[in-house]
Amino acid sequence: MGCAKAALIAGDRELFHAIVSSEPPGRMQCYMTQLVRKRKARDLTSAEPMLLEEQFEFAAPLWTKRGTRVDRNTLEGALDAARMQR
């Protein structure tokens, strides 16, 4: 995500495209392409192109004792996270 952000700030479309295409299909690739679309929409209303810093802040993943990632966006992950907080 950091490399993609740097490529966007530098305005290097080819580098950004290479970074996004090197990611496996999934959520991160989707986030990166959505950020570009949002940036284009902001650029139409703002004279100065900008990136919102909070778009690139992802919390560190929680790992359970089983060695699997707890994804709070799924029902199973939300239940695991709730169990861990008790």
Residues 33-82 have pLDDT tens digits of 776 666 666 555 655 656 665 555 445 555 555 666 666 777 877 787 78
Of residues 43 and 24, more confidently modeled:
24
Number of Cβ within a 10 Å radius of residue 57: 8
Distance of CA 31 to the CA centre of its chain: 5
Helix, coil or strand: residue 80: helix
pTM of the model: 0.40
Confidence of residue 4 (pLDDT cuts 50, 70, 90): confident
pLDDT of residue 32 exceeding 80, the answer is no
